[in-house]
Amino acid sequence: MVKKIYFQSIFFSFFFIKEAFAAESGGMPQLNPEFWVSQIFWLILTFGIMYLVLSKLILPKISNNLESRKSQILENIEAAEKQRKDSDAKLKEYDEIISKSKLEANSIFNQARAKALKDIGAKREVLDKQIDNEIAEAEKEIVSLRKNAPDKINKIAIETSSELLQKLIGADVNNSSISAIVDDLSKRNGDKYYGN
């Protein structure tokens, strides 16, 4: 409803506008030659001065600025290109040095490793020999100990049995007779006690 009134009022108001403008129409001021000469004069004057100043002073300066900027930018690009090449070469050099030193380090490491392995081998041989010697000695000792052990045991057995007999019987017993018995026993049962 409001919309309808709005558009109606617009529509109807066009009739009144036409009358309002029609009251004072006076043709085109452009076609009134009163100020034509003045306009031509001022146009030539202002445009001429502007053209002279622009062409003689300002435009050469702008073109100069543009040219100098262009050449400067080109120079800078050239310099940058040169520096880039330099840095590329340096980078290559650096890479070479790095790879060389890596190789060197590798060889040093390998050498050190070989040397250490050699050292370890020699030391191990010496140690092995020493250990072998000691083992042999120990075995010898064991063997001798084993040889001596029955005699000692016999002796102890004789002594203990003589003391036992003394306490049991209350009389001295000849050691030699005991030892004969022990010897006899040990010979008979020796394998049973010391057998391996």
Partner 1 sequence: MAANPMSQFDVYRIGPEIKVGAFDISFTNASLFMILSTVSILLIFNLGSKKNSILPNKIQLLSELSYTFVSKMISDTAGSKAKPYFAFIFSLFMFVLFCNMFGMIPYTFTVTSHIIVTFVLAAFIFIGVTVIGFIKHGFGYLKLFVPSGVPAVLLPLIVVIEIISYLSRPISLSVRLFANMMAGHTMMKVFGGFVISLGIVGGWLPLSFSVALTGLEILVAFLQAYVFAILTCIYLNDALNLHH
Please identify, among the stretches 36-44, 94-102, 161-169, 183-191, the one whose residues bind partner 1 according to the rule CB under 8 A: 36-44
Using left for φ > 0, alpha for ψ between -120 and 50, and beta otherwise, residue 174 falls in beta
Three-point CA angle 106, 109, 113, nearest 5°: 140
CA–CA gap between residue 80 and residue 89 (Å, rounded) = 14
CA–CA gap between residue 25 and residue 18 (Å, rounded) = 11
Nearest approach in angstroms of CB 78 to partner 1 is: 15
Binding to partner 1 by residue 54, rule CB under 8 A? yes
Binding to partner 1 by residue 77, rule CB under 8 A? no
Q: Which is nearer to partner 1, 49 or 97 (CB)?
A: 49
User: Collapsing DSSP states into helix, strand and coil, what is residue 127?
Assistant: helix
Q: Out of 1, 3, 4, 27, name the contact with partner 1 by CB under 8 A.
A: 27
The tokens of 63 are what? 């073109």
Binding to partner 1 by residue 40, rule CB under 8 A? yes
Binding to partner 1 by residue 4, rule CB under 8 A? no
Cβ 142 vs Cβ 149: under 8 Å:
no
Nearest approach in angstroms of CB 37 to partner 1 is: 5
Binding to partner 1 by residue 47, rule CB under 8 A? yes
Q: How far is CA 119 from the centre of its chain?
A: 34
The tokens of 109 are what? 């490491």
Binding to partner 1 by residue 36, rule CB under 8 A? yes
> What are the residues binding partner 1 (CB under 8 A)?
6, 9-10, 13, 16-17, 20-21, 24-32, 34-44, 46-47, 49-51, 53-55, 57-59, 61-66, 68-69, 72-73
